[in-house]
A and B are shown apart, each in its own frame.
Chain A
C-alpha cells in the first residue's frame, strides 16, 4: 500500500483557491451596476445564446463568470430554489439575501469537500423600490459572500475594470449612462474606447416595473437592437 503524503490544511486550501482563481481569471468579465432606473447587468460575451446573465425571480437576477457548466447548474438550482420558495410561501418571501446564502453554502461545501472547487464567481442582484433598497451580493468560489454597494465587477480583469467603474459611478446614473460606463470599463484592456453593443450580453432589472411596465417581473434581456436604441439616448 502506498503511503499518503501529508498535506497541511492550509496548503490544501491555498492550492484549491489558486486553482479556482486561475480558472476564473481566464474568463471575460461581468459588470453589475445599480443606477437610478434599476440595475444594469452587462457581460462581455460574444455568444448570443449561452448566457452569463439570467433571471432568477421577480426582482432578482444572476450574473456569473467562470466555467459555463458550473455556473449554469448553479443558476438552475437558484431558479428551482426561488420558485419552490415563492410557490410554498409567497412571491414576496423570495429575497436575494436568502438566495445568496444558499449559494454561499453550496459553494462552501463544494470548496471543502469535493474533488475540485467550482471555478466560478457569482453576483446576485435584487432591485428595490428605491436605490437604497437595492442589494448586490458577490459570491466567490470558496463560499465567501460580500454585500457590495453600488456595483460589482467580476472576472479576468476585475481590478482594472473596477477602477474605471468606481471612478465614474454615480447613484444618479440613468440606465443608458450605466451601460455606457460598463462598455467603457469592459474595454479596459482593448485598443478601443468602448466595446460595441454586439460584443456584450446585457439585461436590466427595472425599478418599479409594476407601474412602468405592468409586470411584477423586473428582469428584461436587452437585445443588440435594444442596446443600440438605448445608447443612442442623450447622455
Chain B
C-alpha cells in the first residue's frame, strides 16, 4: 500500500487500476514488456466470437477451440467473460495475452466502482478497453494481437449496445450484430441471414449458436458443438437485470436441434 501520508495524495489519486499499476507495479501489466527482435514462438489462438442484439438486451457467444498453428491447443477454452454486472467481452487472438487483458479489464471496472462508488458509463467502459488494446499495440506488431468484442446494457438509454475494436485500439459501435476472429466471415454471413429485429432471447441464443456452427463448418480454427465431450459454446446474455450465462442444458438442446435440422435437410455444402 502506498503510504497515505507521503506526498500530495490528490495528485496521485486515480480511479483507474491500470494507471495505478503503471505507476507502482508496471511489471504486472500484460502489455508492459518491450520485446527484443526475433521470431515469436507460436502460442494458442482463440478464434470466433459472435454478438447480436435482441429485444431488451445483447448476447455474446464464443466457441471452445484454441489452436496453435495447425494443432488444436485446447477444446475447453472459454473466450467470453463477464466484464462486470452489465457488460461482457469476448476475445480473439493470442489467448494468453487476451485472458490477462480480460482479467485486468475486470479489475479495472470493479476498482473504479469501488473507488468512485458508482459504475462507469457503458461508453466509458468501452473506451477503457480501447485504451488497453492500444497499450498492447507493440505486442501486436510482434504478431501477438488481441481483438476483443464488447457488449453491454446501457442503463441510461435502456438498450443493449455492441462495440468492436481494431488492433490500434480504435473503437467502433456496431449495429444489430458483429463477429470477430478467423471464423467471423462465415459467422457474419450466417448472422445476416438469421438475425431479425426484435428477436426473443431464446431465438437470439439459437441464432448465435447457429452462426458459430457455420463458422466451425468452414474455419478449421473454430470448434463446433462436441456431443462426445458434451462441449457447447459459451453464451452470455446481458439485459436490464445484468448478465447471465446460458446453462449447458439449453445449449445442448439448441445445438442438437441445429445438427438434426441440417441432417434432415440432407444438403452437402
Contacts and interface: CB of A to CB of B under 8 A. Distances in A.
A83 B25 contact: no
A81 interface: yes
A75 B28 CA distance: 23
B3 A83 contact: no
A130 interface: no
B104 interface: yes
Q: What class of interface size applies to chain A in its complex with B? A: 20 to 34
A177 B20 CA distance: 41
A79 B115 contact: yes
Interface stretch (A3-11, A84-92, A164-172): A84-92
B5 A106 contact: yes
Majority secondary structure, B binding face: helix
Interface stretch (B41-49, B106-114, B177-185, B246-254): B106-114
B107 A87 contact: yes
A56 B2 contact: no
A55 B20 contact: no
A86 B107 contact: yes
Majority secondary structure, A binding face: helix
B4 A56 contact: no
Given A73-B9, A77-B1, 15 more contacts: A49-B117, A54-B117, A76-B13, A76-B115, A79-B115, A80-B1, A80-B2, A83-B20, A83-B107, A84-B21, A87-B17, A87-B28, A106-B1, A106-B4, A110-B3
B32 interface: no
9 contacts: A56-B114, A70-B4, A80-B17, A83-B114, A84-B20, A87-B104, A88-B25, A109-B3, A109-B5
Interface in A77-109: 77-81, 83-84, 86-88, 102-103, 106, 109
A84 B3 contact: no
B115 A77 contact: no
A54 B2 CA distance: 19
A223 B134 CA distance: 39
